[in-house]
Amino acid sequence: MLNAAPGPAPDATEEDLALRDRAAGVLRENDAGGWTRAAPRLYPHQWSWDSAFIAIGWAHLDTGRALTELEGLFAAQWPTGMVPHIVFRAGPDHPYFPGPEWWDCPNSVGTGAAPGLPAATTGICQPPVHALAVRRIWELTPPAGRPAIRERIRALYPRLVAWHRYLATQRDPEGSGLVTTYHPWEGTDNSPRWDRALARIQAPDPGPYTRLDARELGDPSQRPADWDYDRYLHLVGLLRKYRYDDAQIYRHYPFLIKDVFFSAVLVAANAALLDLADVAGASDGDREQLARWLDRGQAGLAARFDAGSGLCVDYDVRAEQDIRLRTFAGFAPLFARALEDGQHAGQCAGQRDAQLRALDSGDFCGDPRLRWRLLPSTSPAEPAFEPRTYWRGPVWPVISWLLTEALTALGATARAAEMRRDSLAQIAGDGDFAEYYEPFTGKPLGSQCQSWTAAVTLDWLAAPR
Which residues are at the interface with ligand 9WN (CB under 6 A)? Answer: 38, 43, 47, 49-50, 85, 126, 185, 187, 189, 213
Chain position whose Cβ is nearest to ligand 9WN = 38
What is the smallest separation between the CB atom of 202 and ligand 9WN, expressed in angstroms?
24
Q: Is the dihedral of CA 165, 169, 175, 177 positive or negative?
A: negative
Concerning whether 435 is annotated as a catalytic residue, the answer is yes
Residue placing its CB nearer to ligand 9WN in the complex, 99 or 158: 99
Q: With H, G, I as helix, E, B as strand and everything else as coil, classify residue 36.
A: strand
What is the smallest separation between the CB atom of 303 and ligand 9WN, expressed in angstroms?
26
Residue placing its CB nearer to ligand 9WN in the complex, 213 or 418: 213
Catalytic residue among 245, 435, 438, 459: 435
What is the smallest separation between the CB atom of 337 and ligand 9WN, expressed in angstroms?
20
Phi, psi (rounded to 5 degrees) for 243: 55, 35
What residue type is 267 in one-letter code?
V
What is the smallest separation between the CB atom of 264 and ligand 9WN, expressed in angstroms?
15
What is the smallest separation between the CB atom of 402 and ligand 9WN, expressed in angstroms?
12
- Alpha-carbon gap, residue 118 to 312, rounded angstroms: 37
Concerning whether 189 is annotated as a catalytic residue, the answer is yes
Residue placing its CB nearer to ligand 9WN in the complex, 293 or 391: 391
Residue placing its CB nearer to ligand 9WN in the complex, 270 or 451: 451
- Alpha-carbon gap, residue 39 to 44, rounded angstroms: 6
Residue placing its CB nearer to ligand 9WN in the complex, 187 or 397: 187
Asked whether 317 and 323 are in contact (CB, 8 A), the reply is: no
Cα–Cα separations (whole angstroms), residue 444 to 122, 189, 224: 29, 19, 17
Q: Which residues contact 136 (CB under 8 A, 6 or more apart)?
A: 2, 55, 56, 59, 459
Cα–Cα separations (whole angstroms), residue 439 to 63, 217, 332, 370: 33, 19, 21, 6
Q: With H, G, I as helix, E, B as strand and everything else as coil, classify residue 305.
A: strand
What is the smallest separation between the CB atom of 248 and ligand 9WN, expressed in angstroms?
23
What residue type is 229 in one-letter code?
Y
- Alpha-carbon gap, residue 395 to 438, rounded angstroms: 6
Catalytic residue among 62, 104, 139, 189: 189
Residue placing its CB nearer to ligand 9WN in the complex, 228 or 360: 228
Residues with a catalytic annotation lie at 189, 435
